[in-house]
Amino acid sequence: MSSSALIQVLESLGNPRVLIVGDLILDRYVSGDVRRISPEAPIPVLAASTREARLGGAGNVAANLRSMEAEVELCGLVGDDGDGRELLEMMRSMGVETGACLVDPARPTTVKTRMMSGVHQMIRVDWEDAQGLSSELEQQLLDSLPERIAAADAVLLSDYGKGVLTERVLRSAIDECRRQGKPVLVDPKGSDYARYRGATLLTPNRKEAEEALGRPIASFAELPEAAAELKRRAELTASLITLGPDGIFYLEEDGRFERVPTMARAVFDVTGAGDTVIAQLALALAAGRPLSEAVVLANHAAGLVVARRGAASVTREELRGALSGDLEQPRGKVVAGTELDALLSSWRAAGRRVVFTNGCFDVLHAGHVQYLRFAASKGDRLIVGVNDDASVRRLKGETRPVNGIEDRLEVLAALEMVDAVTSFGEDTPLEIIQRVSPNALVKGEDWADKGVVGREWVESHGGEVHLAPLLPGRSTTSILERGKRG
């Protein structure tokens, strides 16, 4: 399909309602620095400085759907504990309906805690009870399914093997969807796909498909038969296999098939890409679009999220920009005005921790790169504010900047640790800091005695201020002086 045709499809989606039934997971991140080895055992000591919570499992799928402006109802399970209440509040804050979620006082909310030093994961601690639902809670869920399915345009079953999708729940949900003529998509777990028989579509990746088939898929030529066998085994309407850097393969109900090549321009982190794919597929099918269109849109969306750190989501505006060519990297990271507001809104809706820093960034050097890596380690998304040419002249003199604002923005946008760049014309960054209202504000350690502009605003809104170490002997001024001396 042409880009203009895909944009028309995107704009026709409306706001369909998707019911998600599946396993809820709270992802916690404890970050800090390792400076010594414990005297108690030969293990590193993490000097923790920040902690944050993100949505995992079915919650991340819900965040992806909300970013695309779908109405979402979520049916999952949490414990009667603070983690469960926090998870449900995160979902409600982004507009997800959680009235169908179950609370089990006999088990903990599933929590995965990752201890991070910089960008490196040191250890993961899981709190979970993966047993199936109690008979009482299972019956409560079964009783509510017909009415909730009737109110939805599509149903998505997100199976992480944590106990919500029992055999009875799966069978009841899929059979009820077929009876009501509603598409039902499954993110499968394990190798027994017969338990999902009758679903519209499963979304295994290549490795998961090979495990279900019990044999490798050695080449693209084997994909049609592999997809057909999965379709037969699970009595699916259609069959699909995600192929990572090789795109998505799908087999339609009438036997037609196609491999859609990846749309990723750069791959930084594949975390959560599968959640993005199934959310986009559910959205398009819920809106009544054919599978061929749904796959192409999902492929474009996945191409955007793998260029970002961590589990990410895509807004309609971002996807429209990618389809029209407006968001091609690296220019796609340069934002201003309402684009900046929309981007920040999508990050917050997905529970992302936003980091802000600012500067002139005139002649980029190793000190800048180290500084930006430090800033990026303090959250999920790094946005850099850049002084425009007029404000640089007021700060540095008439001979600066050496590079104009357009060049400086483009160079910063090309850096992998930077998620967005924007310019500002004021003498201080206070106005743009207030607009962004970041979770973390980063400045160089040379600002320790000067007073960090925006500190009061950030801290009064629950954020943190970090001072980044500087690389000795690196500065734009010294580079320019050396150039003058030849």
Residue 287 gets the label, from left (phi > 0), alpha (psi -120 to 50) or beta, of alpha
Q: Rounded CA gap, 75 and 275, in Å?
A: 16
User: Closest Cα partner for 333 from 388, 391, 381?
Assistant: 381
| DSSP strand pairing (71-75 vs 120-127) | unpaired
Q: Rounded CA gap, 121 and 353, in Å?
A: 17
Residue type, 336: A
Task: Report in angstroms the alpha-carbon separations of 240 from 156, 208, 264, 265.
Answer: 15, 12, 19, 22
C-alpha dihedral sign at 89, 278, 318, 442: positive
> Which of 275, 362, 380, 419 does the annotation list as catalytic?
275
Q: Rounded CA gap, 348 and 346, in Å?
A: 5
Q: Rounded CA gap, 143 and 158, in Å?
A: 19
Q: Say how many Å lie between the first and final Cα of the chain, rounded.
A: 55
Tokens of 419: 């998620």
Considering only CA atoms, give the Rg of the chain.
24
3-state secondary structure of 297: helix
Q: Rounded CA gap, 188 and 157, in Å?
A: 8
Task: Report in angstroms the alpha-carbon separations of 123 from 309, 334, 353.
Answer: 19, 35, 21
CA 199 distance to own-chain centroid: 26
Answer yes or no: 275 catalytic: yes
Q: Rounded CA gap, 408 and 128, in Å?
A: 47
Q: In this structure, are residues 378 and 442 in contact, taking their beta carbons and an 8 Å threshold? A: yes
Phi, psi for residue 170 in degrees, rounded to 5: -60, -50
Query: Which residues are catalytically annotated?
Result: 275
